[in-house]
Chains A and B, each alone.
Chain A
Amino acid sequence: MSAMTATRGMLSVSELTPVFAPLNNVNDETILIVEVRCKDGEAVQKEAVLLIAETSKATFEITAPAAGFIRLLVRPGQEIPIGDALCLLADSPDKLPAPGAAAPAQLPQAAGEKTLASSGSPPAPPAATTVVASPPATAEPEPPKSRRFSQKAKELIEAEGLDPAGFDKHGLVRSGDVLKKLGQTPTTVLPERILASAAAGNELSPAVGGVPFREVPLSKSKRTEIALLAEARAAAVTSQVSVLVPSEGVFTACARNAAFAGQMSSRIIFEAARVLRAFPMLNAGYRPGHSVQYDQINIGYALDIEHGLKVPVIHGADAAPLEEIHQRKQALVEKYLLNTLTVDDLSRGTFTITDLSSEDCWLFNPIVNKGQAAILGVTGEYAAGGAKPVYGLVLAFDHRLAEGLVASRFLAELKRRLTAHHAVLLRLLGGESEKPQEACCAECFRPASEITSLGGHLLKSVHHDGKDRLVCSVCVAGH
């Protein structure tokens, strides 16, 4: 006890600097300590890497904010709430508290402040509430002193733009309480709905009566993914439109030639980004009563190849030339496979493409990501008994932000543009002259006739190597 009191005294900041678990991703409440790179008690330089931590999205380094002697408060494998102290730095070793004397949970205030400041959301319950001795009292129907929102209540408050502070000292706040505040009658929750909602949230094991089962814990990233998707899905009013695109076998052909692997995906990103410029309502997010239209087109590209679902982002995709998009996309895939994606790589997506063209899949139902209006799905190539091969483009969208007509127009435009790429790719694959007879765009390789038919034109531009080349108006300006 005495050691702990002493520690508390010393924590008065000037002598000891705590290093807190940083918030790298608004959706994370904790970080996982992966590795400890420093020794307890040793002297560290400013910026020295102290810990490697993992969020639901990526691993990152935690560095020393100043030079000093270190007292570690965490171990590898621990999951630490955002804002809790990870270690303490002191300018001399004798100012450090005894090992084990100060645990992260003893800094509830700091934790609360951090969370509040960085996320703007209501402060999380303090990690620890020190129980202060109080005289015994008979406390029958004592008025509530705290508040706790159910998940549903939280969502309602957010959706309706209510101030959570209005529920202070309400004790347990259910969705019915929020509805009451809104002047609505709470609907009766039938038992089926209670159970169904529990099942939908995967909160209850989906055990079928009488069937033996095993419970396999999901990884942290998978749990985050579930939470995000469920949250987005619960809030959005989703709808879906799809088109068939004659492919002339382009996917199959690309797959056969390693040099062309991933080419179609890159072209889809390239074209989708440009088409989005004309459809701002699909590059948007929903806030109650508002469509928040983003001023950047950042295309998230969903990857799920043995390392869990991650969505690295190609920022400013509508302004990047095709070759750059291809290179950036391939680089992100590589980082995904090496598990070196950074938080930045994974942040700020405004639209998502999920490309299952390499799979033998037909018809699927992409889920719109949180904070976005739509997601584009690309199906595998399909040829029914002798028919010409086709593939599908599926646009799932939040009906609060767009309508079926908008979505189908978006797809029609995208289809038209992609068709041109098929011809180019097949020509290149077929070993035809690298330089087509007809003048064509140096970026997208579409011939002048096609550009014209799209209502565009070829522009002469100077390449960075000083040479002239032709680039189409679509590649330059997006239309």
Chain B
Amino acid sequence: MAEKQGLAPIPAGSPGPNGAGPGGLSSRSSGELTEGQIHTAFLIRRVEQALLRLFSEGRLYGTVHTCIGQELIGVAVAEGLRQGDWVFSNHRCHGHFIAHTDCVEGLIAEIMGKRTGVCGGWGGSQHLCEGRFFSNGIQGSIVPVAAGLALGEKLRAAGNISAAFIGEGTLGEGAVYEAANIAAKWDLPLLIVLENNHYCQSTAQAETIAGDIAQRFAALGIRCFEADCWHARQLFETAAAAAEFVRHESRPAFLRVDTYRLMAHSKGDDDRDPREVQAYWEKDLLEQFAKRHVATTQPLLAEVDARINRAVADGLAAEDAQVVRPGVADGCDSVPVRWHKATIASKDRFSQAIRDCFERQMEKDPRIVLLGEDIRSPYGGAFKVTKGLSDKFPSRVRNTPISESAIVGLGNGLALHGMRPVCEIMFGDFLTLAFDQIANGAAKFPGMYNGKVQVPLIVRTPMGGGRGYGPTHSQSLEKHFLGLPQTRVLALNDRVHPGEIYDRLFATIDRMTLVIENKLMYARRPSGETAEGFVLEHSDEPFPTVRLRPEGRADVTVVCYAGTLPMVEEAALRAFDQMEIAVEVICPVQLYPLNPYPALESVARTGRLLVVEEGLAFAAWGAELIARIVEIAPGRLEKAARRTAPAHPIPSSGPLEKAVLPNVDSILRSIAELAGHVGDDGDAGDAQRV
């Protein structure tokens, strides 16, 4: 491989290291590229030039990142790929898109914000989706997703490959290496294409990239290919060879293509030396071809321009994007529920019950793949939820490196592929490392691709304290994951069998679903047993809400979720036995989308609400619940309180941890305080405050 480390942009006026020599797109060598290749390259350039024009006329939304000067890369890679292959591109994706799909009209309409755009105007320039082509404006995170698509191909042995386009600025993002490591280790058919245009937006490569680019991938055992945009034949041959290697060997490859972006990064942000830019314009193969083959080029451009003009005219005439699509609201409507007596069949521990459910489901559905750290035999996961499953499903239960971003990224890719990935994040605290994949990937794909895809991905993780694991292994961070579009957040509790929840989830999953489990709960057994004087009920929601209803007048409503339920129940019993305060407990499984009805219905009777959660109070689930109740039914709620953890890291020391997290005593205190503001009005209470 040629030593290209620290390649400096060519000084103005110099021929450059690779000057347009025998490999160029010259008249002499025009036979080296087909008419189709030249046509596509010009089409891309003219489309982007049209977009720049439309932008300056104020007819586009957002901005446009053009690939003028880099077009041949997209054309060359598209030629190496086959139908059935997957492409994941980045913010500078128009060239890749046109080369792969030829969907000029859909692209122009999309960027014009029209309903006829490939994503109905929801995605725009950077977020395209057509067939098996995707692009996303988040850089490094596309590589794990592309690796996930490759894993899907590997598992299905369909013989297709996955290609990811990155710029060299993206080499600064860790997700790239997490994915490359896994792709190399697992022999995934993934082609990583690096378009090395020497500038990361405005920052020259010499300022940000250390060491050798290719060696980063070579060190992982990934085969590296190199080419540039000024030797067309070599570029096409290398791209074809790289794709063929990936397909034939079923192993990843890295293709570095040196190039130069002739226009600004975006719009009006070009601080490069104009002489340098000019030198590359002169070196540009399309420019040279147009000058030397005027007779060939003119009709070609005329044809291309006619198509573009038509597309623009159609775009202008098309309807604007639909303002509100059905199912795109936040989905947190108050939906009445009906209650029935709770029944819990099994007496297994939570960890065993979840495991057995996975085994049952994996036997039934070959699309289910489990990914996570230390989940294979003999360890079976930090909380033993996957114990023994890798013995039965060796290729579908996979140990990953410590790469949370890549774990969920792979899950995203698998889900887009149509698989049913289940990602285990060993501790909920580590979910922060995967936040980008969840918030900018899983949660956005369905909406920004205008409903063309679903992300049936399960991410499961234990939250909660109580084991002395300290500040980074005891948190309840779920509030940060609530309210993301097209997602669901569930929290297991002691009163619903986890198998019931996962069975339902596998049967109906249509979106990224985060399942909050609980460290202490794994050793417990789901139970339907209740104390005298209280009735345990489930709602008829798909993921049932639990209600512990006192037989008689309720004085206070306590809403909680996840691992806090046993404490709340104990407090409820003590509140009655010792203070004659009857507490109705409401414990939803589904935190988001939120159905406030079960809590609201209870609050309508009691007027007093306590929300107990283990996470921090500010902007938490309980705050949202209280806001919704007040919005929907003003005046019903006389008094509300919340019992949460203080805004402080969770201490490791047992007694300290116990003191800062909600406990039975503190919950009981809050109940007493809430009840204290309304006297025991005997019969009047029975008459209901509804």
- Which A residues are within 8 Å of any B CB, using their own CB? 1, 4, 125, 128-140, 142, 144-153, 170-176, 186, 188-192, 194-195, 197-198, 201, 203-205, 207, 213-215
B577 is an interface residue with CB less than 8 A from chain A: yes
B537 and A139 form a contact (CB under 8 A): yes
B581 is an interface residue with CB less than 8 A from chain A: yes
B531 and A148 form a contact (CB under 8 A): yes
- Which B residues are within 8 Å of any A CB, using their own CB? 338-347, 528-537, 540, 550-553, 574, 576-582, 655, 658-659, 665-666, 668-669, 672-673, 675-677, 679-682
A172 and B676 form a contact (CB under 8 A): no
Given contacts A131-B343, A144-B552, A194-B581, 4 further A-B contacts (CB under 8 A): A1-B346, A140-B339, A150-B577, A215-B659
Contacts of A194 in B (CB 8 A): 579-581, 672, 675-676, 680
A171 and B533 form a contact (CB under 8 A): yes
Among B577, B579, B655, the one with the most A-chain Cβ atoms within 10 Å of its Cβ is B579
A150 and B680 form a contact (CB under 8 A): no
A190 and B577 form a contact (CB under 8 A): no
Q: Which 8 A-B pairs have the closest CB atoms?
A: A148-B533, A171-B551, A136-B340, A191-B676, A144-B551, A131-B528, A171-B552, A172-B552
Once A4-B347, A172-B582, A194-B675 are accepted as A-B contacts, the answer to whether A203 and B532 lie under 8 Å apart by CB is no
A134 and B551 form a contact (CB under 8 A): no
Nearest Cβ distance between residue B638 and chain A, in whole angstroms? Answer: 13
Contacts of B346 in A (CB 8 A): 1
Which residue from chain B places its CB closest to the CB of A176 in the assembled complex? B682
In whole angstroms, what is the CA distance A194 to B577 when docked?
12
B529 and A146 form a contact (CB under 8 A): no
Contacts of B579 in A (CB 8 A): 150, 194, 197-198, 203
List 8 A-B residue pairs with CB atoms under 8 Å apart, sorted by A's residue number.
A129-B529, A131-B343, A133-B345, A134-B341, A146-B534, A194-B680, A197-B579, A198-B579
Which residue from chain B places its CB closest to the CB of A197 in the assembled complex? B579
Which residue from chain B places its CB closest to the CB of A154 in the assembled complex? B577
A214 and B659 form a contact (CB under 8 A): yes
In whole angstroms, what is the CA distance A135 to B681 when docked?
36
Which residue from chain B places its CB closest to the CB of A135 in the assembled complex? B340
Nearest Cβ distance between residue A180 and chain B, in whole angstroms? Answer: 8
Contacts of B533 in A (CB 8 A): 144, 146-148, 171-173
A189 and B580 form a contact (CB under 8 A): yes
A203 and B540 form a contact (CB under 8 A): no
Contacts of B673 in A (CB 8 A): 195
B672 and A195 form a contact (CB under 8 A): yes
A125 and B532 form a contact (CB under 8 A): yes
Nearest Cβ distance between residue A240 and chain B, in whole angstroms? Answer: 28
Contacts of A136 in B (CB 8 A): 338, 340-341, 540
Once A131-B342, A137-B340, A214-B659 are accepted as A-B contacts, the answer to whether A201 and B578 lie under 8 Å apart by CB is yes
Nearest Cβ distance between residue B518 and chain A, in whole angstroms? Answer: 22
Which residue from chain A places its CB closest to the CB of B676 in the assembled complex? A191
Among A1, A175, A203, A214, the one with the most B-chain Cβ atoms within 10 Å of its Cβ is A203
Contacts of B342 in A (CB 8 A): 131
A198 and B578 form a contact (CB under 8 A): yes
Once A138-B338, A198-B578 are accepted as A-B contacts, the answer to whether A176 and B680 lie under 8 Å apart by CB is yes
Once A194-B675, A198-B579, A203-B578 are accepted as A-B contacts, the answer to whether A145 and B551 lie under 8 Å apart by CB is yes
Q: Pick the contact of A198: B532, B552, B658, B672 (CB < 8 A).
A: B672
In whole angstroms, what is the CA distance A4 to B525 when docked?
15
Contacts of B677 in A (CB 8 A): 191
Q: Pick the contact of B340: A138, A171, A190 (CB < 8 A).
A: A138
In whole angstroms, what is the CA distance A215 to B656 when docked?
10
Nearest Cβ distance between residue B671 and chain A, in whole angstroms? Answer: 10
Which residue from chain A places its CB closest to the CB of B338 in the assembled complex? A138
Which residue from chain B places its CB closest to the CB of A145 in the assembled complex? B551
In whole angstroms, what is the CA distance A106 to B531 when docked?
15
Contacts of B537 in A (CB 8 A): 139
In whole angstroms, what is the CA distance A128 to B527 when docked?
10
Q: Pick the contact of A204: B658, B672, B680 (CB < 8 A).
A: B672
Contacts of A176 in B (CB 8 A): 580, 680, 682
A133 and B529 form a contact (CB under 8 A): no
Which residue from chain A places its CB closest to the CB of B688 in the assembled complex? A141
In whole angstroms, what is the CA distance A174 to B528 when docked?
25
Contacts of A197 in B (CB 8 A): 578-579
Contacts of A213 in B (CB 8 A): 659
Contacts of B665 in A (CB 8 A): 204-205, 215
Contacts of A204 in B (CB 8 A): 665, 668-669, 672
